[in-house]
Amino acid sequence: MGFLTNLINGISLGSVYAIIALGYTMVYGIAKMLNFAHGDVIMVGGYLCFISMTNLGLPPLVGVLLAVVGCTCLGIVVERLAYKPLRGAPSLAVLITAIGVSYFLQNSALLIWGANPKAFTSVIPLPSVSLFDGQLVISSVTIATVLVAIAVMVGLTLFTSRTKMGKAMRACSEDKGAAQLMGINVNSTISMVFAIGSGLAAIAGVLLCSAYPTLMPTTGSMPGIKAFTAAVLGGIGSIPGAALGGVLLGIIEIFAKAYLGTQFADAIVFAVLIVVLLIRPAGLLGKEIHEKV
């Protein structure tokens, strides 16, 4: 049963990575920028949910909703103030700005909520599910995480393939100039992508904190880096790739922890990424673009 338990935990952790990775991959696909502040939006989402539940005494579902709305607004504001003035600037300048935003969010959280870890109460107050006469215990958070991830994935796929806005997003990621000529408002589309990505980050933050209930200003940075790795593993810019990369990374991490010791889990996760990129330089589901002279 140990194997099955690890597999389920891996899929659950991987689902969180997948939701975060979606934010990375969508922003990269459309704005061609590595948004290093994404991990910190997760942390903000966690805190927003925490204060609305603990300090304001609101029910968990309202807390989650507040976190999503708050982070969506945050995403739009950050994009507007920090990234929009840099359209067309060298990608490294945008990268450093994103790092500045990341510092800003972390230090704001430090000033507002302090450095002491907060004990997060799970948003899903249901008992664990016990199978095979109690040999396999699955916590309700694990199940909820996987279900939410599947819902997000299906929703996002439908959104990008069926709706007008989704089509505009795909058009922008393919060729911004041509999209603009076709009458697509590129700026508002990019804002939209940031809004969706940040909203997803809030959901991921709440799920992450429910599963690992300590909340600190630096909570988001490591999952952020891991999810970024997952996005690259699956092929950055590709939505199914982010999902696949996230789940794979989660499973690898949990199995490495279980069978090879906790100390080297991170090293193994990153080593897998390197090996995959050496074999498939554009990631698992990424499109390889050949340069033409």
Partner 1 sequence: MLKNLNKTTRSNIITYGIVIVAFVVMQGLAMAGAISNSLVGLLVPICAYICLTISLNLVVGISGELSLGHAGFMSVGAFCGLVVAACCRGIVGSDIVRLTIAILAAGAMAAVAGVIIGLPVMRLRGDYLAIVTLAFGEIIKNLLNNLYVGKDASGLHFSMESANSLGMQGGTILINGPQGATGIDKLSTFASGFVLILVTLTVVLNLINSRTGRAIMAVRDNRIAAESVGINVTKYRLIAFVVSAALAGMAGALYAMNYSSIVPKKFDFNTSILILVFVVLGGMGNIRGGIVSAALLTVLPELLRFIGDYRMLIYAIVLILVMILSNNAAFQSRLTSLREKVRRRSDDQAALAVDSQSGGASHE
Site residues (CB under 8 A) for partner 1? 28, 34, 36, 82, 85-86, 88-90, 92-93, 95-97, 99-101, 103-104, 107-108, 110-111, 221, 225, 228-229, 232, 236, 263-264, 266-267, 270-271, 273-274, 277-278, 281-283, 291, 293
Task: Compute the distance between CA of residue 189 and CA of residue 168 in angstroms, rounded to an integer.
Answer: 7
- Of 100 and 117, which has the nearer Cβ to partner 1? 100
Task: Compute the distance between CA of residue 93 and CA of residue 281 in angstroms, rounded to an integer.
Answer: 25
Task: Compute the distance between CA of residue 198 and CA of residue 42 in angstroms, rounded to an integer.
Answer: 8
- Of 107 and 135, which has the nearer Cβ to partner 1? 107
Q: With H, G, I as helix, E, B as strand and everything else as coil, classify residue 130.
A: strand
- Of 123 and 232, which has the nearer Cβ to partner 1? 232
Q: Cβ 258 to partner 1, closest distance in Å?
A: 17
Residue 187, burial from CB neighbour count under 10 angstroms (0-12, 13-18, 19+): middle
Task: Compute the distance between CA of residue 38 and CA of residue 98 in angstroms, rounded to an integer.
Answer: 9
Q: Cβ 114 to partner 1, closest distance in Å?
A: 10
- Of 57 and 281, which has the nearer Cβ to partner 1? 281
- Of 7 and 282, which has the nearer Cβ to partner 1? 282
Beta-bridge mates of residue 136? 131
Q: With H, G, I as helix, E, B as strand and everything else as coil, classify residue 131.
A: strand
Task: Compute the distance between CA of residue 15 and CA of residue 229 in angstroms, rounded to an integer.
Answer: 14
Residue 55 Cα distances to 51, 59, 113, 172, 205, angstroms: 5, 11, 12, 42, 18
- Of 164 and 292, which has the nearer Cβ to partner 1? 292
Task: Compute the distance between CA of residue 265 and CA of residue 249 in angstroms, rounded to an integer.
Answer: 11
Q: Cβ 252 to partner 1, closest distance in Å?
A: 13
Q: Cβ 202 to partner 1, closest distance in Å?
A: 21
- Of 200 and 236, which has the nearer Cβ to partner 1? 236
β-strand 136-138 against 129-131: which pairing, if any?
A: antiparallel
Q: Cβ 161 to partner 1, closest distance in Å?
A: 26
Q: Cβ 71 to partner 1, closest distance in Å?
A: 19
Task: Compute the distance between CA of residue 104 and CA of residue 207 in angstroms, rounded to an integer.
Answer: 23
